[in-house]
Amino acid sequence: MTAQVFTITSGKGGVGKTTAVANLATALAMDGKRVVCIDGDIGLRNLDVVMGLENRIVYDIVDVIEGRCKLKQAMIRDKHYPEMYLLPAAQTRDKNAVSPSDMVRICKDLRADADFVIIDSPAGIERGFRNAIAAADSVIVVTNPEVSAVRDADRVVGILEAEEKGNPSLIINRLNPTLVKNNDMLSAEDVLDLLGIRLIGIVPEDETVIIGSNRGAPVVTDGKSRAGTAFRNIAKRLQGEDVPFLDLAPQSGLWNAIQRLAGRK
């Protein structure tokens, strides 16, 4: 078995990369897949908190790289899904402790035993970002429907193109259909128009996401949450299934617009 390695990145901070990683990994694990998440944000780790695994960390990725422990020793098994693991970042080091070739080597070791490896990239376009994308088979760019976030996403897409990392996919996070309808927020169509990359999901603004993150229980486990449903659908799409996009605003023409956009290359 060979795992697919996805890196989730954004350029701008605070758009929901870590939330997306935790939710997609959990959704894949719920589908019975073997998943390893890697926190690529050395020095500012927080994927462990969002996944509720904070107090189980003994070793971290820098310990693995510097030979203080074996890879398997640093991987933390999830509380609910025994086939899901987290490789945490170091909190007391900085990103120079990891090099792109270290990431490639770790992912190579993980490929044999997992279905999916999901790497959480730090914000920015510096060393930490370069580390995070080094091992990726495909890259997922997360953005919010805000001008500043979209511009940074555009920059990241440009770098990925220059690095020949293949075409990235796009998740639009925290879309508020009411604001879009009143022309107070960029629509999914506006964002796609500018970035021109493949859309794999739109996650609506939903306060249950924040509650889930604070509790260390990703929102995908909540069957009633709209955002949870959106993340579960993205996880299905990562597995190659063709899932229709959520109808976020039944009365408006957005649904048709999204369907039209989803069909385009």
Partner 1 sequence: MNAFMESTSSIVQIKGIRDGLLATFADADWSDQRDALMLQITERSTFFQGARLAMDVGSQVLKVNDLVDLRDWLSERNITLWAVVSESPTTETTAQLLGLATRISKPRPEEARHVLESIPEDSALFVAKTVRSGTRIEYPGHVVVYGDVNPGAEIIAEGNVIVWGRVRGVIHAGAKGNREAFICALDLSANQLRIADEVSAMLKPQKDPRPEVASINHEGKLQAELWSPGETTTRK
Would you tell me which residues interact with partner 1 (CB under 8 A)? Answer: 100, 130, 147, 151-152, 154-155, 157-159, 161-164, 194, 196
Minimum CB distance to partner 1, residue 253 (Å): 16
Distance of alpha carbon 113 from alpha carbon 11, whole angstroms = 30
Single-letter code of the amino acid located at 69: C
Tell me the C-alpha to C-alpha distance, in Å, between residue 5 and each of 35, 44, 223.
Answer: 10, 22, 27
Minimum CB distance to partner 1, residue 13 (Å): 16
Distance of alpha carbon 158 from alpha carbon 166, whole angstroms = 11
Minimum CB distance to partner 1, residue 148 (Å): 10
Minimum CB distance to partner 1, residue 143 (Å): 12
Q: Nearer to partner 1 by C-beta: 194 or 246? A: 194
Distance of alpha carbon 142 from alpha carbon 210, whole angstroms = 17
Q: Nearer to partner 1 by C-beta: 164 or 242? A: 164
Distance of alpha carbon 150 from alpha carbon 15, whole angstroms = 10
Tell me the C-alpha to C-alpha distance, in Å, between residue 227 and each of 31, 161, 246.
Answer: 17, 29, 10
C-beta neighbour count of 108 within 10 angstroms: 12
Q: Nearer to partner 1 by C-beta: 127 or 237? A: 127
Q: Nearer to partner 1 by C-beta: 166 or 196? A: 196
C-beta neighbour count of 118 within 10 angstroms: 27
Q: Nearer to partner 1 by C-beta: 12 or 17? A: 12
Minimum CB distance to partner 1, residue 151 (Å): 5
Q: Nearer to partner 1 by C-beta: 147 or 210? A: 147
Minimum CB distance to partner 1, residue 130 (Å): 6
Q: Nearer to partner 1 by C-beta: 105 or 151? A: 151
Minimum CB distance to partner 1, residue 215 (Å): 36
